[in-house]
Amino acid sequence: MPRNRGAVTTLLTGLSLAGMVPAMTVEGGTTAAVFAAYLEQVLLPWLRPGQVVVVDNVGAHKPDRMRALVEAAGCRLVFLPAYSPDLSPVEEAASLIKALVKAAGARTRAALDAAIAVALAAVSASDAAGWFTHAGYPTPQAA
């Protein structure tokens, strides 16, 4: 099985209690420009005012522009503490998605995009609620 061949494809997505939120893929890593494009073009149009956007504490997420974009949508931006994967339910979702994509054995960009779409759709609301609860977030289902 080929390993580490070709360009790196990065998946930008998030998790809500309903399951995965709209996603985008890019070749290469996540830069501030890439994250801003994801916010502006993909995530923010989907969000409702009052929602909280929780992001990893990485450099691409930190420019003041990111907070301004999220707040302009009527939402709030919150950063996870550094080195806190246990507080991020999306880490468990990512583990499932990676396993499903790897199992698909995609060898072209089109096949990879299709495998990612199938993997994203496989995350259920029940999965999401369990991962949020496991990470210590109160959920309506747990109340």
Q: What is the DSSP string of 130-142?
A: HHHHHTT---TTT
pTM over 0.95: no
For 9-140, where are the E strands, in sequence order? 9-12, 15-16, 19-20, 24-27, 52-55, 76-79
Q: Is residue 58 part of a domain?
A: yes
CB 58 within 8 A of CB 81: no
User: Residue 32's domain spans which residues?
Assistant: 9-135
Between residues 5 and 81, the one the model is more confident about: 81
At residue 127 the predicted structure's pLDDT band, cuts being 50, 70 and 90, is very high
Percentage of residues in the chain having pLDDT higher than 90: 76
* Widest Cα–Cα separation across the chain: 47
Query: What pLDDT shows up at residue 139?
Result: 79
Overall domain count for the chain: 1
CB atoms within 10 A of CB 117: 13
Position 142 in a domain: no
Q: Is the pLDDT of residue 3 over 80?
A: no
pLDDT in tens, 62-111: 999 999 999 999 999 999 888 787 888 999 999 999 999 999 999 899 99
Q: What is the CATH number of the domain that holds 55?
A: 3.30.420.10
Q: Is 140 domain-assigned?
A: no
In a domain, 43, yes or no: yes
Domain membership of residue 65 (yes or no) is yes
**CA separation (Å) from 28 to 6, 7, 87?**
10, 7, 26
Mean pLDDT of the chain: 91
